[in-house]
Amino acid sequence: VDGKGAVSHPAQDLDDVVHQRTRLGILAVLSEVESVEFTYLQRALELTGGNLSRHLQVLDEAELVRIQKGYEGRRPRTWIRITRAGRRALSHEVRVLKGIVGSLEASLASGGR
Amino acid sequence: VDGKGAVSHPAQDLDDVVHQRTRLGILAVLSEVESVEFTYLQRALELTGGNLSRHLQVLDEAELVRIQKGYEGRRPRTWIRITRAGRRALSHEVRVLKGIVGSLEASLASGGR
What ipTM was assigned to the predicted interfaces of this complex?
0.85
Each residue of A57-91: pLDDT tens digit? 999 999 999 999 999 899 999 999 999 999 999 99
Q: What is the pLDDT of residues B50-88, one digit of tens each?
A: 999 999 999 999 999 999 999 989 999 999 999 999 999
Nearest to A3 among B7, B21, B39 (CB): B39
- CA dihedral for B2, A89, A105, B41, sign (positive or negative): negative
Cα–Cα distance, B57 to A109 (Å, whole number): 26
Q: A113 CB near a chain B CB, below 8 Å?
A: yes
Residues 65-84 on B with a CB inside 8 Å of A are 82
CA distance A66 to chain B (A): 15
In the 8-state DSSP scheme, what is residue A46? Answer: T
Closest chain A residue by Cα to residue B15:
A21
Distance CA B42, CA B37 (A): 9
- Interface size, chain A vs chain B, as Cβ–Cβ contacts under 8 Å: 138
pLDDT digits (tens, 9 = 90+) for B3-28: 444 467 889 899 999 999 999 999 99
pTM: 0.88
B85 close to A (CB below 8 A): no
In sequence order, what are the beta bridge partners of A85? Answer: none
Rounded to an integer, what distance in angstroms lies between the CA atom of residue A85 and that of residue A92?
Answer: 11
Closest CA to A94 of B18, B25, B104, B22: B104
To the nearest whole angstrom, how far is the Cα of B3 from the nearest Cα of chain A?
Answer: 4
| Contact between chains at B43 and A16 (C-beta distance less than 8 A) | no
The CB density around residue B43, as the number of other CB atoms within 10 Å, is: 17
Nearest Cα of chain B lies from the Cα of A2 at a distance, in angstroms, of 6
